[in-house]
Amino acid sequence: MKIGLLMASVKHQDLVLPEFQREYVWNREQAKELLVSLVKDYPVGSLLFWRTPKPPELKNIKAPEEKLGTVSVILDGQQRLTTLYLLLVGEIPPYYRPKDIGTDPRDLHYHLGTRDFQYYQKSRMEMDPLWIRVADCFNGTDINVFHLAEKRAAEDKEKAFRLAQLYTDSLTALKNVREKDIPEQVVPGHASITEAIDIFDRVNSQGTKLTDAELALTHVTGKWPEARRELKKKIDELAKHHFYFNLTFMVRALTAVATRRALYETIHDKPRDEVVAGWQRLSKRLDYLVSVLPTQAFIHSTEDLSTPNVLVPLLLYLDLQEGRFPSEKAAKHAIHWLYGAQMWARYTAQTDQRLEHDLSVVVRERSPWSQLVNQIIDQRGRVEVKAADLEGRGMSHPLYRTVAIVAKAHGAVDWFNGAPLGTVTGKTYRLHSHHIFPRAVLHKHGYQKENHLHRKVMNEIANRAFLTAESNYKLRDVPPGDYLPDVEQKYPAALSKQFVPVSPELWRVEHYRQFLQARRELIARKINEFMASLIAEPEPHTAIPAEDLRKLGESATLEFKSTLRWDVIRNQVNKDLELSVLKTIAAFLNSDGGTLMIGVEDDGNVLGLDNDFKTFKKKDADGFEQTLMNLIADRIGPAFAAFLRVRFEQIEGKTVCVVDADQAASPVYTKTPAGTVFFIRMGNTTRPLDPEQTVAYVETHWQ
């Protein structure tokens, strides 16, 4: 179809955009290159439409009843069509609102002499009338090429004629874009919404690829058309409380609450009612969380967080706890973990894998926080802060926000207006910071701004005091020895509440290095003391009942086995089944721990252990445990029993065995008929590693 007809179809809403499509995300360079390709007659790909008498929920418009059966739904090509509409029509297409346009390309200009495309630059274009706004070339604006040519050629009429011809050809080349054909493909009208989304997934491998979150939201919106609007509405609502989220985070949180998993793909096939119910719960959990974080965690905004992903395990935990922390002690342990995950960047890398693991711990542990802190220790070696951790660290490091949070917990105030750091005024929240030793002062004493190492030293966390957004006090070249006494006099203890050494000797510029070292040590000590105070009372360990575990279903850290040794198909003892149980236990010990339930089928159906009991000399739970522990001692090693807890519970009147495994302190090797094998958990499965893989895994997991 010709581009001109496509533009008319968009304008008259014969071409519409489904709600499950994302917003306009192309950048300016992509928009420019599309037009360059069209002018040069390069291929720009095809479009995919779905002609259907029953269109899905449409973005920002309702399908007019008189058009039903004639409307084409855009499945692929909406970024290109939107770009062309913005540039050729000069307006936002009907299916979008201004806030849906991430980057507006309508200031793209075209040079009639060179056929170059560039975005408006005043210094370059103000004095050159040959730069014409692209949209003006199509909207009827009078472009007098003869007048432009005459001005360029002065009195040379022959030159003016040649230039006029050149400019006319250039303008025609651009205007001819409307006559270009873009191939289109059509999904038949009998296709269902599910089939249309499946096709949408397949073609998404070309063009600007959807992120996993965008693809997940597409699936959610396909079955719940209002989803995108509901999520955006909540984003706007939470922003009023200074918590600023985006759709990616909201989809991640919805996935966690609706599926108990972190991977976006797990929500693709969730039924509509479960997704909607999950969203309704998540909305309440978010309201609760943003109300308690300022008062209990001194987190007044997402500006206090390096990444909002640290909130996902908290949201799932709250959902499992019926919407609130069950006790003050539980809240403090959760906040202790939150600080650790924040300052040691738990989710900066391998986000999906780490969140998937951590959510599985939250699901199977009533009190998961100490186990989650251990994961940070395994990752970083410790959770405590050392003075050396602050050396050379600036505002971009997670410790910067941690220092601000702990300062707020100590009642810190702005040095120049006395307002508490947690004070929120106006519509936005943001902590500012001030160089205690102003850079101008340091420059005068040999610290060069051109020197990378000097810049790091000048901009260190240890040289920053926190201010409120309203503070308007500026220090350019006043040494700290001249103004810190006034701060302390006006606001007593203001320095100590921000962990500033109070020795005037250290406030002298020649002692700047000593000041930094002293403040690093103060900061590290105060963070560690505050963290320790949160967990002064140990977190109680309460096992989740077997019935609740069964309802959760299998995951990376929860597996079901029908029996220990009884083959229900052959109706006899099968020693291969014993090995299957041992493999799973060994894999949990070698990974991050987990729970094995014996007596429950993969689908959650309860078989019980009666058939196994019949095979033991002592035909009860004691006989079962003795047999299991003997197998573990023989095949895995008696030392690893210390990392296991075995219990028996009743479900539906049948006995099941629950084996809780912690991560072992050293590698676990299992004796099998094929030799000694090293097993790990990989997703929801148990996998053996070859010798080379085992060496690499052991090096990263235990050393």
Q: Span 256-278, mean pLDDT?
A: 93
pLDDT at 51 over 60: yes
Q: Could you read off the pLDDT of 623-664 as tens digits, one per residue?
A: 999 999 999 999 999 999 999 999 999 999 999 999 999 889
- Residue 152: the pLDDT is 81
Does 192 fall in a domain? Answer: no
φ, ψ of residue 692 to 5 degrees: the values are -65, -45
Mean confidence (pLDDT) of the chain? 90
Q: What is the pLDDT of residues 678-699, one digit of tens each?
A: 999 987 899 999 999 999 999 8
Do 687 and 625 sit in the same domain of this protein? Answer: yes
Higher local confidence (pLDDT), 543 or 414: 414
Boundary (domain end) residue, out of 485, 508, 534 = 534
What's the rounded mean pLDDT across residues 432-460?
91
Interatomic CA distance for residues 4 and 15, integer angstroms:
13
Between residues 85 and 52, which one has the greater pLDDT?
Answer: 85
368 and 428 belong to one structural domain: no
Q: What percent of the chain is modeled with pLDDT above 90?
A: 67
Q: For the chain, what is the domain count?
A: 4
Tell me the pLDDT tens digit for each residue of 398-426: 999 999 999 999 999 989 888 898 776 56
CATH for 553: 3.30.950.30
Q: What is the pLDDT of residue 204?
A: 62
Whole-angstrom distance, CA of residue 508 vs CA of residue 481: 6
**Class of residue 594 by CB neighbours under 10 A (exposed 0-12, middle 13-18, buried 19+):** buried
Do 586 and 667 belong together in one domain?
yes
Q: What is the DSSP letter of 553?
A: -
pLDDT of residue 140: 82
Same domain, 396 and 359: no
**Residue 159, CA atoms < 13 Å, CB-side half-sphere:** 8
Which tokens belong to 164? 């006029």
Section 252-263 average pLDDT: 94
Residues 154 and 23 in one domain: yes
Would you say residue 27 lies in a domain? yes
Contacts 24+ apart (CB under 8 A), 445-451: 445/509, 445/510, 445/512
Instruction: Give the residue with greater pLDDT, 140 vs 239.
Output: 239
Asked if 221 and 335 sit in the same domain, the reply is yes
Coil, strand or helix at 16: strand
Closest CA to 358 of 373, 340, 339, 336: 373
Within a domain: residue 195?
Answer: no
In a domain, 250, yes or no: yes
**Residue 453: inside a domain:** yes
Calculate mean pLDDT across residues 28-44.
93
Average pLDDT score over residue span 435-445: 92
pLDDT at 157: 82
- Amino acid 574 reads N
345 and 392 together in one domain: no
Which pLDDT value is given to residue 408? 94
Of 509, 534, 559, the residue at which a domain comes to its end is: 534
Q: Which domain holds residue 258?
A: 211-383
Look up residue 561 and give its two tokens. Answer: 């086995």
Among candidate residues 690, 685, 686, the one with its CA nearest the CA of residue 674: 690
Q: Give the least confident one: 194-203, 362-371, 583-592, 677-686.
A: 194-203
- Sign of the C-alpha dihedral, residues 162, 163, 166, 167? negative
Position 703 confidence tier, pLDDT thresholds 50, 70, 90: low
User: 443 and 335 in one domain?
Assistant: no
**Which of the four pLDDT bands, split at 50, 70 and 90, describes residue 218?**
confident
Closest residue by Cα to residue 581 from 647, 652, 672: 672
Would you say residue 68 has pLDDT above 60? no
- Residue 342 DSSP SS3: helix
Q: Distance between CA 498 and CA 416 in Å, rounded?
A: 13
Residue 70, pLDDT score? 66
Residue 202 lies in a domain: no
The last residue of one of the domains, among 508, 534, 560, is 534
% of the chain residues with pLDDT over 70: 96
pTM of the shown model: 0.73
**Same domain flag for 573 and 628:** yes
Mean pLDDT within 150-161: 82
Is residue 524 included in any domain, yes or no?
A: yes
Residues 374 and 395 in one domain: no
Q: What is the pLDDT of residue 177?
A: 94
Q: What pLDDT, on the 0 to 100 scale, is given for residue 480?
A: 93
Cα distances from 391 to residues 119, 290, 510, 556, 667, in angstroms, run: 43, 32, 18, 38, 35
Per-residue pLDDT tens digits for 319-355: 999 999 999 999 999 999 999 999 999 998 889 989 9
**What's residue 187's pLDDT?**
84
- What is the rounded distance in angstroms from the CA atom of residue 289 to the CA atom of residue 324? 8
Q: Which residues are 15's β-sheet partners?
A: 72
Same domain for 283 and 347 = yes
How does DSSP classify residue 383?
Answer: S
Measure CA 407 to chain center: 27
Query: Cα–Cα distance between 338 and 541 in angstroms, integer?
Result: 19
Q: Is there a domain that residue 200 lies in?
A: no
Q: Are residues 428 and 495 in the same domain?
A: yes
